[in-house]
Structure 1
Amino acid sequence: MNNLMKIIYITAITVCLLFVSCSDMNELSDRFLKKGETTYAALPDSVTVGAGKERVQFEIFITTNRVKTTRIYWNNRTDSVDIEIGNQAGVFYKTIENLPEQSYLFDLVNLDQYGNRSLLYEVSGRSLGEKYESTMINRRLVSLSANNAGNKVLVWGGMDESLDAGYTEISYTNTEDENVLMEVPLSETSTIITDLKPGSLPKYRTVYIPDEMVVDVFYTDFTNASLTYDGDFLLIKSEISIIGYSNQHDSGDNAAKHALDNNYTNRWHTRVGENFPHWMVFDIGGEVLVSRFSIWPSVFGLETGKLFDNRLPATFSLWGRNDEPPRDHLSGEEGWTQLGNYSIEERGGEQTFTIDNPIPVRYLKMSSPNGLNGTTMMVIGEFDIYSR
């Protein structure tokens, strides 16, 4: 009997506890049901922020027709602007002007026609200005020369494309007196101008594009191309052939080819025991106005204390022609037109000589009848040939 009473007692307590628990649970769920579910507007599908000059531009992709407005916050949500979407899917743009130069964190919220808001969409962007412009550098022009067709050739140094540099612009005046603006890719190592106005020079600048949206492009200042000698363009030596010479000491360190190889530290040494005259004939490869000729004394294999090799010609003359000279007429005067006579000083460094009345020639000859201080050998470091 006692056991039966215990069972009835325990069962009664359990039923009471279950009743109280169910009542509490119902009360909790009733409160949430009365409040209702939270409804969110749709988020943007994607957002891109383009960098401009003291401004940014938003490109917002919306893939639903249930967004009425997009609101953009910045400066810790103290500033904002709205974009009307109008319950349409598509791509929407918004430019925020007059933003001081710095990086920004933007929060975007979509609102639907019922006033429901989306969750935050966070994106970063940057506004550019004087600080950015101060980091831009112009591409390096290695050389400005002429080829054997009379065209002008600009050779460029490399440039790091990761620094936002997009391309190079060249501005010049052509032979019709028109201004020309050329775009040169950074991958291009040399540029040919076929119609540069005589007496003028090109200028160039580098264009910077901060990102793919191209809100604004930035430009370095123009740099004027320059020449060592006003109006005279160094001819490209790889296009010029040496077709004859008086002699050479050997075909190694003293070879005649060293007189025109762009290496100013080797030499052409004529044969020991072979006296003047010494000469060399060049095939330029095309008719050009040869306007200047330079001689560089050799600095190869100098004795201690010497600054240059003084086994130079005392005087020399330049000759030109357009028809190919016969092999037996290379050293003589027949068929050649004299361009000038010159004297050389006994000193180191470049000595340059102008041709006062240049005429178009394809073949050029340098010929010397005598040496400085009675030397019988001639030693040359390098020749440079210029044209107009």
Structure 2
Amino acid sequence: MNNIKYLIWSCLWIISMTSCKKMDSTYKEYVVPSGIVYPGKVVEANFKSGLNEAQLNWNRGSDPKVTKARVYWNYYKDSIDVPMPIDQSNVSCTIKDLEENFYTFIIKTLDDDGHISVPVEVSGGVLGERFKSSLSNRTAAPKVNIDNSVSITFTPVNSTSDLVKSEIEYTSVNDQVKTVTIDSNVNSILIDDYKLGSTYKMRTYFMPETAFESIVSSDETYTITKLNKQEWKIAGYSSFYNTDTPAKMIDGNPATRWGTLSPHVYPHFFTVDFGVQRTLSSFSLWRQTPSNEEGPNEVQFLGSDDNINFVDLGNYPFNRQSSAEQIYQLAEPKTFRYLKVRQINGPKAYVVMGEFDVTAKF
């Protein structure tokens, strides 16, 4: 019995050895006698985008034989070589002229003998004109002061915003082109040498989390047509009720109201003093928002230089059922220091209104 078991095991051993020899013969041509040499691969590779650019950064690793890296993209159709000096631990390269798209970059290191490391992949989206066109300038409200300086107020920037800063490029009274920078934490500036009647350009810089440089919005051109209402005064009025003073008409908030006394009847009026003569091109009125319909049906505008003698600028309809700004454009600009707004008739004996403004020409 033992002889039979021995004979069976002997046959199995012979078959196994024969198979192994055949396998060795099959793969012999693919075996490298001294083994395959792989240079040390790059470490901690990462990707950042610029405008139609990609920046790759990595640590060179500890292999002293590595002399350069080769970066591939577009499915190995494009590549560049990046030197990796032994004394430079951090390495970076910038790839320019890329289309706005998502890319996978493959990084391999090489030594002087031509050995190539295992690949390291890093991916990311390259920003381009589509992204740039989606950027909006920071909202700004420029106003001309009595002394002809310009105040610009900006909307506050959310702490999570990518907005870094804005630039305003303007023409000075000496016809010099100047640029002022407004950091994201600054909400207002004063320009005391602005050439009134000229335009200014604005651009805004953004730093997305995936970017290595700021992406700048396109320049936009603006014209200043508003006056600083905080410097205006009420120079006359027909009446007001309780705390509903005519000063509420120039406080910048249509939700506050001027209301006249109920015993008084139409016409009602208030007069605004701009502080200096201004060339006016349009007037604006709001009812008290959002839904007060106790405004007039008809209004009249009158201009004056002394608050005594007034020039009739015309009668206009007022839609007391609308909360929108109602704009009245003059056929040609007129220059006055005082502007009287009269309410001619309406559904009640008294009147309630929300806000008044003008646009000026310089």
Do the two structures share a fold, i.e. TM-score over 0.5?
Answer: yes
| Secondary structure at the counterpart of residue 258 of structure 1 | helix
Corresponding residue for residue 258 of structure 2:
267
8 A contact 1:155–1:189 mirrored in 2:
yes
Q: Measured at CA, do residues 87 and 116 of structure 1 come closer, stay the same or move farther in structure 2, by a change above 3 Å?
A: farther
Q: Measured at CA, do residues 339 and 23 of structure 1 come closer, stay the same or move farther in structure 2, by a change above 3 Å?
A: farther
Corresponding residue for residue 63 of structure 1:
61
Corresponding residue for residue 152 of structure 1:
150
Corresponding residue for residue 278 of structure 2:
291
1:206 and 2:204 aligned = yes
Corresponding residue for residue 222 of structure 2:
225
Give distance in 1, aligned partners of 2:44 and 2:37.
21
8 A contact 2:100–2:127 mirrored in 1:
yes
**CA deviation after TM superposition for structure 1 residue 171, in Å:** 0.6
1:42 and 2:11 aligned = no
Give distance in 2, aligned partners of 1:98 and 1:105.
16
| Secondary structure at the counterpart of residue 257 of structure 1 | helix
- Whichever residue aligns with residue 94 of structure 2, its letter is T
TM-score with structure 1 setting the length: 0.64
**CA deviation after TM superposition for structure 1 residue 105, in Å:** 1.1
**CA deviation after TM superposition for structure 1 residue 55, in Å:** 3.8
| Secondary structure at the counterpart of residue 41 of structure 1 | coil
Corresponding residue for residue 341 of structure 1:
310
Give distance in 1, aligned partners of 2:81 and 2:43.
17
Give distance in 1, aligned partners of 2:163 and 2:268.
55
8 A contact 1:42–1:118 mirrored in 2:
yes
8 A contact 1:85–1:92 mirrored in 2:
yes
Give distance in 2, aligned partners of 1:347 and 1:367.
14
- Whichever residue aligns with residue 267 of structure 1, its letter is W
Corresponding residue for residue 77 of structure 2:
78
Corresponding residue for residue 323 of structure 2:
none
Aligned residues: 334
| Secondary structure at the counterpart of residue 259 of structure 1 | helix
Corresponding residue for residue 323 of structure 1:
none
**CA deviation after TM superposition for structure 1 residue 114, in Å:** 4.0
Corresponding residue for residue 332 of structure 1:
none
Structure 2 residue ranges without an equivalent (≥5): 319-326
Deviation string 1:7-60 (CA, Å, 9 cap, x unpaired) is 7x6997799799989999x9999x999944444211112223333444433333
Corresponding residue for residue 255 of structure 1:
245
| Secondary structure at the counterpart of residue 346 of structure 1 | strand
Give distance in 2, aligned partners of 1:166 and 1:173.
24
Give distance in 2, aligned partners of 1:372 and 1:100.
63
TM-score with structure 2 setting the length: 0.68
Q: Measured at CA, do residues 271 and 89 of structure 1 come closer, stay the same or move farther in structure 2, by a change above 3 Å?
A: same
Q: Measured at CA, do residues 261 and 270 of structure 1 come closer, stay the same or move farther in structure 2, by a change above 3 Å?
A: farther
Give distance in 1, aligned partners of 2:286 and 2:195.
36
Instruction: State the percentage of identical aligned residues.
Output: 20
Give distance in 1, aligned partners of 2:350 and 2:261.
6
Give distance in 2, aligned partners of 1:308 and 1:371.
6
Larger-Rg structure = 1
Deviation string 1:278-336 (CA, Å, 9 cap, x unpaired) is 77686x8xxx5341578767746557xxx8344868x67554xxxxxxxxxxxxxxxxx
1:92 and 2:94 aligned = no
Corresponding residue for residue 335 of structure 1:
none
- Whichever residue aligns with residue 261 of structure 1, its letter is D
Structure 1 residue ranges without an equivalent (≥5): 1-5, 320-337, 359-364
Give distance in 2, aligned partners of 1:317 and 1:12.
128
- Whichever residue aligns with residue 347 of structure 1, its letter is Y
Give distance in 2, aligned partners of 1:241 and 1:155.
21
